[in-house]
């Protein structure tokens, strides 16, 4: 019988994390205390205390689901993480490696020898093994492949042949097929032969002798339909199906629109080769969301929160260098108007407002555009219309908020011309922010790059430098 592990709610998960941290802290404190005291059989006492704490911690870990252990591992510093990792049962290593983030997985794999890695990999299905194959040493992959059956080797080869972001990279090979010429009673008897159905099985796939897909048979129909009827009479012939080359984002959209739990994947000839399940789709959406957030902040890849200083530096330096260059450009723009600022000190107090509001407005635009691109809502012919709409929004915001800021500037400094310059600069910088917010994603998409990568850094550079130039230039023209 399969071992059952607890699945925790968010609050329970945090509570278990705190309990694990407390056990680790107490273990360290007690062992340190015992180590510092002189007593008979000192080593024996220290060893007994150590084993007692580890046994309590191991018992807690044994009750948890692999995904929950992965969360705990990600939340622990490296030393404590390795202590917990060593207490996990060896037959669960593979499942946990699947669940942890890429950065943490690399740190765990680095502590394992080839024998442990092979043992962990051999517990995984072919599609699961493909997910972590890139992190495993080539020698380990070769040994694991030799241990697979011919069918499993073919499945692994197929899974690795499709690029990331495709349906083929997400599909699994565990599914149940039935023939269309059998009765529902025969299909039901066939299902009862399984100890467990593959996860997220909400329908059976109906195929012919050549494994060509004829349709799907929802389990709900099996339950409510007369068992004497043939499968061919009750199957869903026009069910949604995917090809392995289809984009994962398109498939995710279909799962969301049609509330799918699973869907068949067929090759060019219509032969059933796998299935796509909602858990794989959700994992992909979560991964893409995390990647977009990191890219917008200028991080090149996911980072272990407890990574070394050097590793964190390597992940962050590139966009910081870009930011440094753009900041220097902004400073030179200000430097070009030193004379104007010296004659009218109010300019120094007001110019950050113009740049800041422009940056915020541009970030709103770029966030909306990147999200729409991720959802597949923007076609090539829509860019001009989007640009016109965003310029319209920028003009309206500029008139409203520029007028308000102009009035405030007049109230503070008693200078009508300064208020007018403030209002006009706000309008122009918001228009610039709209152009940049649409233009950056458009250019990156046009050149086949991730539209979210470093977008905030680039946008801030343009709106800061542009805002300073517009405001100080207008002030020089009309005030100084």
Arithmetic mean of pLDDT, 82-93: 90
Query: Given this model, what pLDDT does residue 387 score?
Result: 94
Query: Given this model, what pLDDT does residue 340 score?
Result: 87
Distance separating alpha carbons of residues 461 and 464, to the nearest angstrom: 5
Residue ranges of the alpha helices (H) in 346-415? 346-374, 383-413
Distance separating alpha carbons of residues 115 and 90, to the nearest angstrom: 11
Helix or strand (DSSP H, E) at 425: helix 416-446
CB 130 within 8 A of CB 159: yes
CB 248 within 8 A of CB 187: no
Query: Given this model, what pLDDT does residue 217 score?
Result: 96
- Across the chain, which distance is largest between two alpha carbons, in Å? 94
CB 203 within 8 A of CB 216: yes
Q: Is the pLDDT of residue 396 over 60?
A: yes
Q: What letter would DSSP give residue 344?
A: -
Query: Which is higher by pLDDT, 290 or 115?
Result: 115
Residues facing 216 on adjacent strands: 205, 236
Arithmetic mean of pLDDT, 373-393: 87
pLDDT digits (tens, 9 = 90+) for 47-57: 665 677 678 88
One-character DSSP codes across 258-288: HT-SEEEEE-TT-BEEEEEEHHHHHHHHHHH
Query: Given this model, what pLDDT does residue 2 score?
Result: 46
Q: Is the pLDDT of residue 302 over 80?
A: no
Q: Is the pLDDT of residue 13 over 90?
A: no
Per-residue confidence band for 383, with pLDDT thresholds at 50, 70 and 90: very high
**What SS3 class is residue 375?**
coil
Q: Is the pLDDT of residue 267 over 90?
A: yes
Q: Is the pLDDT of residue 266 over 50?
A: yes
CB 466 within 8 A of CB 432: yes
Q: Return the CA Rg of the chain.
A: 30
Q: Is the pLDDT of residue 161 over 60?
A: yes
Q: Is the pLDDT of residue 164 over 50?
A: yes
Distance separating alpha carbons of residues 303 and 126, to the nearest angstrom: 27
Distance separating alpha carbons of residues 370 and 372, to the nearest angstrom: 5
Q: Return the minimum-mean-pLDDT range out of 81-95, 141-155, 186-200, 295-309.
A: 295-309
Distance separating alpha carbons of residues 165 and 281, to the nearest angstrom: 11
Arithmetic mean of pLDDT, 31-59: 64
CB 398 within 8 A of CB 426: yes
Query: Which is higher by pLDDT, 297 or 338?
Result: 338
Query: Given this model, what pLDDT does residue 247 score?
Result: 92
Distance separating alpha carbons of residues 247 and 288, to the nearest angstrom: 13
Distance separating alpha carbons of residues 28 and 22, to the nearest angstrom: 10
Q: What letter would DSSP give residue 110?
A: T
Query: Given this model, what pLDDT does residue 325 score?
Result: 87
Query: Given this model, what pLDDT does residue 9 score?
Result: 62
Per-residue confidence band for 274, with pLDDT thresholds at 50, 70 and 90: very high
Arithmetic mean of pLDDT, 165-183: 94
Q: Is the pLDDT of residue 300 over 90?
A: no
pLDDT digits (tens, 9 = 90+) for 426-444: 999 999 999 999 999 999 8
Distance separating alpha carbons of residues 393 and 397, to the nearest angstrom: 6
Arithmetic mean of pLDDT, 96-109: 91
CB 220 within 8 A of CB 235: no
Query: Given this model, what pLDDT does residue 49 score?
Result: 59
Q: Is the pLDDT of residue 129 over 70?
A: yes
Arithmetic mean of pLDDT, 218-238: 94
Distance separating alpha carbons of residues 148 and 291, to the nearest angstrom: 33
Query: Given this model, what pLDDT does residue 254 score?
Result: 93
Question: In 10 A of CB 209, how many CB atoms?
Answer: 7
Query: Given this model, what pLDDT does residue 36 score?
Result: 61
Per-residue confidence band for 8, with pLDDT thresholds at 50, 70 and 90: low
Distance separating alpha carbons of residues 66 and 68, to the nearest angstrom: 5
Arithmetic mean of pLDDT, 275-304: 80
Q: Is the pLDDT of residue 249 over 70?
A: yes
Arithmetic mean of pLDDT, 232-258: 93
Distance separating alpha carbons of residues 397 and 362, to the nearest angstrom: 12
Arithmetic mean of pLDDT, 449-453: 79
Per-residue confidence band for 1, with pLDDT thresholds at 50, 70 and 90: very low
Per-residue confidence band for 46, with pLDDT thresholds at 50, 70 and 90: low
For a pLDDT cut of 70, what percent of the chain falls above it? 91
Arithmetic mean of pLDDT, 393-419: 94
What rounded mean pLDDT belongs to the chain? 87
Query: Which is higher by pLDDT, 17 or 193?
Result: 193
Q: CB pairs under 8 A, 24+ apart, for 349-353?
A: 350/409, 350/418, 350/422, 350/471, 351/467, 351/468, 351/471, 351/472, 353/405, 353/422
Q: Return the minimum-mean-pLDDT range out of 4-8, 435-439, 470-474.
A: 4-8
Question: In 10 A of CB 328, how many CB atoms?
Answer: 11
Distance separating alpha carbons of residues 216 and 109, to the nearest angstrom: 40
């Amino acid at each position: 019988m399969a071992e059952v592990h607890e699945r925790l709610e968010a609050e329970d998960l945090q509570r278990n994390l705190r309990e694990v941290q407390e056990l680790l802290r107490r273990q360290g404190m007690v062992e340190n205390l015992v180590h510092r005291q002189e007593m008979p059989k000192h080593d024996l006492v220290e060893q007994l205390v150590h084993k007692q704490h580890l046994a309590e911690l191991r018992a807690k870990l044994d009750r948890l689901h692999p995904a929950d252990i992965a969360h705990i591992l990600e939340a622990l510093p490296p030393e404590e993480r390795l202590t917990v990792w060593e207490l996990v049962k060896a037959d669960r290593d593979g499942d946990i490696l699947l669940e942890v983030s890429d950065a943490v997985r690399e740190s765990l794999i680095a502590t394992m020898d080839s024998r442990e890695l092979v043992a962990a990999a051999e517990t995984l299905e072919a599609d699961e093994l493909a997910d972590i194959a890139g992190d495993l040493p080539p020698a380990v992959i070769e040994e694991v492949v030799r241990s697979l059956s011919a069918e499993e080797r073919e499945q692994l080869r197929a899974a690795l042949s499709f690029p990331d972001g495709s349906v083929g990279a997400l599909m699994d090979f565990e599914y149940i097929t039935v023939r269309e010429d059998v009765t529902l009673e025969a299909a039901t008897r066939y299902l009862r032969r399984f100890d467990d159905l593959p996860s997220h099985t909400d329908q059976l796939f109906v195929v012919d002798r050549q494994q060509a897909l004829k349709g799907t048979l929802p389990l709900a129909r099996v339950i409510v339909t007369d068992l004497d009827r043939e499968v061919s009479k009750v199957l869903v012939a026009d069910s949604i199906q995917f090809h392995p080359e289809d984009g994962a984002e398109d498939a995710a959209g279909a799962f969301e629109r049609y509330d799918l739990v699973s869907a068949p994947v067929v090759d060019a000839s219509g032969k059933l080769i796998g299935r796509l399940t909602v858990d794989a789709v959700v994992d992909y959406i979560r991964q893409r969301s995390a990647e977009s957030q990191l890219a917008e902040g200028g991080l090149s890849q996911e980072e272990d929160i407890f990574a070394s200083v050097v590793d964190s530096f390597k992940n962050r330096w590139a966009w910081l260098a870009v930011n440094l260059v753009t900041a220097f450009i902004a400073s030179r723009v200000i430097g070009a108007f030193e004379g104007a600022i010296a004659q009218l000190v109010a300019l120094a107090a007001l110019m950050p407002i113009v740049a800041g509001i422009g940056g915020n407005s541009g970030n709103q635009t770029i966030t909306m555009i990147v999200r729409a691109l991720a959802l597949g809502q923007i076609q090539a012919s829509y860019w001009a219309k989007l640009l016109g709409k965003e310029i319209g929004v920028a003009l309206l915001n500029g008139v409203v908020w520029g007028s308000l800021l102009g009035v405030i500037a007049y109230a503070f400094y008693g200078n009508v011309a300064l208020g007018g310059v403030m209002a006009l600069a706000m309008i122009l910088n918001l228009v610039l922010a709209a152009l940049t917010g649409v233009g950056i994603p458009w250019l990156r998409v046009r050149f086949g790059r991730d539209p979210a990568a470093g977008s905030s850094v680039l946008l801030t550079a343009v709106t800061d430098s542009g805002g300073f130039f517009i405001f100080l230039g207008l002030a020089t023209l009309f005030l100084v």
